[in-house]
Amino acid sequence: MRKKATGQSEGNPPEPADRNRRTSKHRAPQRQGEPPQRRPKPGIETQSSARQTSAPPPRVGADFFSRRAVRFGGAFVVMVLITVGMIVVYNFMTGSRFFELRQIDVYGNSLVSEAEITQIVRSIAQRKVLRADITQIRNELKKNELIKDVEIARVLPDMMRVIIKERTPYALARRRDGAVVCVDTDGSLFGNRSLFKATPAPPLISGLKEDHAESASELNRQRLKVYDKLMGELNGSLPPLSPRIEEINFDDDQGARVILADSRIVVVLGYEDFRMRLNAALDLLDAVRRNDAEALNVLRIGDAEKLLSGAKIAYLNATIPNRVVVGLEE
């Protein structure tokens, strides 16, 4: 019994001890106190190994910027060449005899001669249709006070079309120097009296601004609106009273003042009730001509005796309701 036990221990060691020896070569040495490590399965990468093998984010190299600079420089050079080529082609075309100015068509002119217009266009265009400065031609033509607006167009290859919009006389106006000219609805003074063809001629307008500033034009337009209202009231019923007026003057303080055609007496009418106020002034003058003292008393004229004795009237102010103020010459 004792030998049998000894033979088993020497010739055939226990199976568990033999298994431990076979696997101990493939395991990492285990430190004391550490838990046993497990081998990962084939094909599965641990988290620590993934962190170790991850590469840093790629950086943009200097060659990338150099490539972009080369591309940008090439594109810039191409654009410059295209621009230069277009300029060369344009200069060649504009200087070509094919685009030489040969004909100028003028439309809409009746007060300005066609010869005057074509002369201005040719002097600026220098016989080149494409090189002609349209803005300069328009500004030069508009210096003529008879021309209100101009439209200019190139008709390739060798023509230019000029459309003139002339001013239309609306009324007659007196300048500060005494000259009688025309005025249009925009309040612009132009031409001379001969351009106004309507008969009978309406009363002259004085007191309009003569400069070309926008503020002056706006003031003239406002005064022409008052002029329209005045003429409308005077001729709105029978008999028409505008033929009895020679001139209408606009004043900033007193409004409209009219000069009577037969006596040159000034009548102040203000800004409203033009027909009623003018009728009151005319009634007073008729009473003076008739030497009608009773009518003058009805009209409440304080200087009736002086008027009847031959005193000369300088002006009449009819802006006060139901009473006309008489101003006598000294």
CA-CA distance, 188 to 211, in Å (whole number)?
9
290: Cβ–Cβ under 8 A, 6 or more apart, which residues?
none
Contacts of 117-125 with CB under 8 Å at 24 or more apart are 117/141, 117/162, 117/164, 121/152, 121/160, 121/162, 125/101, 125/160
pLDDT band at 56 (very low <50, low <70, confident <90, very high): low
Query: Quick one: pLDDT at residue 83?
Result: 78
User: Is residue 238 packed enough to be buried (19+ CB in 10 Å), middle (13-18) or exposed (0-12)?
Assistant: exposed
Residues 269-328 have pLDDT tens digits of 999 999 999 999 999 999 999 999 888 888 888 778 888 888 899 999 999 878 899 999
Nearest to 234 by CA among 174, 264, 279, 266: 279
CA-CA distance, 101 to 158, in Å (whole number)?
5
DSSP per residue over 35-81, as a string? PPP-PPPTT---HHHHHHHPPPPP---HHHHHHHHHHHHHHHHHHHH
pTM above the 0.75 mark?
Answer: no
User: Is residue 42's pLDDT more than 90?
Assistant: no
Portion of the chain with pLDDT greater than 70, in percent: 76
Query: Quick one: pLDDT at residue 80?
Result: 78
pLDDT band at 40 (very low <50, low <70, confident <90, very high): low
Dihedral sign, Cα of residue 183, residue 188, residue 189, residue 192: negative
Dihedral sign, Cα of residue 318, residue 324, residue 325, residue 330: positive
Would you tell me the crossing angle of helices 214-234 and 274-289 to the nearest 10 degrees? 60
Contact 134, 152 (CB under 8 A): yes
Query: Quick one: pLDDT at residue 308?
Result: 87
Beginning with the edge strand found earlier in the chain, give each strand of the sheet holding 159-166 in spatial order.
Answer: 103-107, 159-166, 147-155
CA-CA distance, 175 to 207, in Å (whole number)?
8
3-state secondary structure of 84: helix
CA-CA distance, 171 to 4, in Å (whole number)?
155
Residues 81-137 have pLDDT tens digits of 777 766 655 555 555 677 889 999 999 999 999 999 999 999 999 888 988 999 999
CA-CA distance, 121 to 232, in Å (whole number)?
43
CA-CA distance, 198 to 3, in Å (whole number)?
162
Nearest to 322 by CA among 293, 299, 292: 299
| Number of alpha helices (DSSP H) and beta strands (DSSP E) in the chain | 10, 12
Q: How many CB atoms lie within 10 A of CB 254?
A: 16
Portion of the chain with pLDDT greater than 90, in percent: 54
Query: Quick one: pLDDT at residue 124?
Result: 93
Residues 194-230 have pLDDT tens digits of 999 988 899 999 999 998 788 888 999 999 999 999 9
CA-CA distance, 200 to 177, in Å (whole number)?
24
User: Is residue 182's pLDDT more than 80?
Assistant: yes
Residues 125-174 have pLDDT tens digits of 988 898 899 999 999 999 999 999 999 999 988 999 999 999 999 999 99
Contact 303, 328 (CB under 8 A): yes
Nearest to 242 by CA among 221, 223, 256: 256
| Domains of the chain as residue ranges with CATH | 97-166 (3.10.20.310), 171-328 (3.40.50.11690)
75-76-77 Cα angle (round to 5):
90
The backbone torsions φ and ψ at residue 328, rounded to the nearest 5 degrees and listed phi first, read -100, 150
Report the DSSP pairing between strands 204-206 and 245-251.
parallel
